[in-house]
Amino acid sequence: MKLRIDKDLVPMKAHYFLFNGGTAPVVPFMPQLARQLGYSSVVVGTMYMILPIIGMLAKPLFGYIADRFNRHRFLFLAGQLITAVAFFLIMFVPAVDKPLPEVQFHCHAGISNIRHCDIYEKQMEKTLENYYGNTTLACQMHCAMKPEYWDIVCDNWLANKTSNCASNRTQASLNFTTYISTRDIVELPQLHSKVKCLNFIIPSDQGTWNAQNITLYCPKNKSEMDVNCTMDCHDAYLNQQLNQARAMNTSEAMAQPEFWFFFGMLIVSWIGMAVVVSIGDAICFGILGERHHLYGKQRLCGSLGWGLFAVLAGLLVDKMSPSDGDKNYTIVFWMTLVILGFDMLASTKLKHTQTHMSANILKDVGQMFLSMRCVVFFLWCVAIGLCTALIWNFIFIYLEELNVVHGSRSSIKTLEGLVMGIQCFGGELPFFFMSGWILKRIGHVNAMSLVLLGFGVRFILYSMLQDPWYILPIELLNGVTFGLFYATMASYASIVAPPGTEATMQSLVGAIFEGVGVSMGSQIGGQLFEAVSGRTTFEIFGIAAFIVFIIHVCLQMYLNRNGPAENGTVKYFAPTDAMHMLNEQEYSSVS
């Protein structure tokens, strides 16, 4: 049997492959990069609340312009260009200055130790012990001094030493090096539940001062030494963990020009992606014509590109980064610039002409809000957006928390790349391929309910994770929660769109999904991650998804029983038949 290839669809497949492949190296890593730059989870959640709102405004605006002035191709290529440039410029965002951890140095009754009190996740001492094992770190201390403390230093630390200590008694600070053990870290109980203190043991009370070995000894019959210090162990991971509650909050971030450059480039890139995605889907359905059921087979090329380059990006980031400390994301920005450049070249080959023009686009689209089924569809898009935000913006932050507790060091980006690879190859690809068949068999309404159920199961499984690598089989559910969802949303929107409003309709649905749903989910997720931990956040969202699933099923059953006379449940409609939904007339399904 000879394989027939529709040459008109080849550039469309190439676009989906290259655009998703070009954004895959950067989009998933931006929340982690923001955390690495010094911003808190609340700041990340706030940014990803605003970004979908920007997309919500941009999509209908540029969709309307494309339909009104028939400028689909120009806006499509312009969106790709500004997306590539904006993401590339993020590479030059400088990190904010990160303060050294503030600690208290205690020396009394012949025992010296270092205490750090802050707002920690549970069992931080186990997290550090699992990460470092039995390790001794050399840490430089810069401590504020009082005159009586100099008596202890000179008489006990420097006893029988040749150094002249008298000249230092007037100085307000003391700099010395001590050693801390990561094996026996003790969490001290506090009156306030949110504040925890970690007690670091100093093996044998050993240290150095002015290149001399000293014993950090305080006799029992003398007053104790209790001073505030900053501690630099020359270990980026330890500094990050001890300063986690001191990550920059929203007001502090807004005072930094580096933040506005970073956030500004994200806004520009989000606008570009919004234009490309919404107009690209409209162009795709325009080329397909009456073959709407083939959309999934075009869109699966995007999943293929996303999965391939996401895995590659994760491997390269780990390979080019030091084993400890901050990750080096330089390679992903270059990958995005080059791949999106090829996408622009492929997109110039698209053959698309708009066959219908709407006399009044706003009025035609506005009719949809008079249909109860369409309103329920829009609300479903909001609910899915709430759930999707948690995966897009916080799943990798959650994995990195689990990774630390489990004692892993340098393979987290490889795991994250594998997660995206399984999401695409094991989940999205087969469901995009079968989406037309599935929608014909079970209908859009049942598909919508199935997506909500999939999110509930997925989130509850996340909340039960202990070893982060066990997430890999769970990611197969991405086929239901994104592959089936996106095919359902895009095809449903295309089918019910009045002629001449295709780009506007795709933009509107995308704006509702991202601008309302993802935006709200990002803010709620960021607040919950900060307040109750990632594990509890996924548990809350999982229970909520099950509740919404039950409500959606009951609501659709009510509409079927009490709504206009219809032949069974909502099936996969041909474009002409589906238009009857807007007029609330009878319609027939197409098998």
Mean pLDDT of 326-333: 86
What is the C-alpha to C-alpha distance for residues 60 and 77, in angstroms, rounded to an integer? 17
Residues 236 and 111 in one domain: yes
Q: Are residues 439 and 502 in the same domain?
A: yes
179 — phi, psi (to 5°)? -125, 135
Statement: residue 77 has pLDDT above 60 = yes
Q: Are residues 149 and 29 in the same domain?
A: no
- Max Cα distance, the chain (Å): 100
Backbone phi, then psi, for 102, in 5-degree steps?
Answer: -95, 130
| 360 within a domain of the structure (yes/no) | no
**403 and 418 in a common domain:** yes
Beta bridge partners of 228: 104
Last residue of a domain, which of 216, 246, 276? 246
- Are 560 and 478 within one domain? yes
Residue 547: what pLDDT?
95
Whether residue 445 is contained in a domain is answered as yes
pLDDT for res 97: 67
Task: Give the chain's domain count.
Answer: 2
Asked if the model's pLDDT at residue 11 lies above 80, the reply is yes
* Whether pLDDT at 565 is above 50: no
State the average pLDDT over residues 142-149: 83
- pLDDT category of residue 528 using cuts at 50, 70 and 90: confident
Q: Residue 357: inside a domain, yes or no? A: no
Structural domain includes residue 364: no
User: Are 420 and 530 in a shared domain?
Assistant: yes
DSSP code, position 328: -
Q: Are residues 36 and 169 in the same domain?
A: no
Q: What is the pLDDT of residue 12?
A: 86
The CATH number that applies at residue 317 is 1.20.1250.20
Average pLDDT for the chain: 77
- Residue 242 shares a structural domain with residue 254: no
Among the residue ranges 286-290, 330-334, 347-351, the one predicted with the least confidence is: 286-290
Residue 10 has pLDDT above 60, yes or no: yes
Q: Are residues 538 and 427 in the same domain?
A: yes
- Which position has the higher pLDDT, 271 or 407? 271
| Least reliable range by pLDDT among 201-205, 538-542, 573-577 | 573-577
State the pLDDT confidence band at 585, using cuts at 50, 70 and 90: very low
User: Residue 16: which H helix or E strand, with range?
Assistant: helix 10-23
Which parts of 264-330 are beta strand (E)? none
Secondary structure of 345-412 in HEC code, one letter for each residue = HHHCCCCCCCCCCCCCHHHHHHHHHHCHHHHHHHHHHHHHHHHHHHHHHHHHHHHHHHHHHCCCCCCH
Host domain of residue 218: 102-246
Tokens at residue 412, please? 């987290």
According to the model, what pLDDT value does residue 587 have?
31
Give domain status of residue 2, yes or no.
no
pLDDT digits (tens, 9 = 90+) for 188-242: 655 445 567 788 888 777 788 777 788 887 776 666 788 888 888 887 777 777 7
More confidently predicted of 147 and 248 = 147
Give the model's pLDDT for residue 576. 31
Q: Cβ(100)–Cβ(231) under 8 Å? A: yes
Confidence of residue 573 (pLDDT cuts 50, 70, 90): very low
Task: Identify whether residues 392 and 403 lie together within a single domain.
Answer: yes
Q: What does the pLDDT look like over 243-293, one tens digit per residue? A: 765 666 677 778 788 888 999 999 999 899 888 887 887 787 777 776 766
| Residues 258 and 216 grouped into a single domain | no
Same domain, 79 and 224: no
pLDDT digits (tens, 9 = 90+) for 40-60: 777 887 887 788 778 778 877
Residue where a domain stops, chosen among 184, 217, 246: 246
- 150 found inside a domain: yes
Residue 502 pLDDT more than 80?
no
For 559, other C-beta atoms within 10 Å of its C-beta total: 17
Say which residue, 521 or 193, is predicted with more confidence.
521
Q: Strand 111-119's sheet: what is its strand order?
A: 186-188, 195-201, 111-119, 102-108, 225-232, 136-144, 173-181, 206-209, 212-215
Tell me which of 551 and 363 has the higher pLDDT.
551
- What digits encode the pLDDT tens for the residues 438-479? 888 888 888 889 999 999 999 999 999 888 888 999 999 998
Q: Is the pTM for the entire model greater than 0.75?
A: no
State the amino acid at position 404 in one-letter form: V
> For position 283, what pLDDT does the model report?
80
pLDDT of residue 545: 94
Q: What's residue 137's pLDDT?
A: 85
Answer whether residue 550 shows pLDDT above 80.
yes
pLDDT category of residue 540 using cuts at 50, 70 and 90:
very high
Asked whether residue 293 is assigned to any structural domain, the reply reads: no
Mean pLDDT of 409-416: 71
In a domain, 550, yes or no: yes
pLDDT, position 549? 94
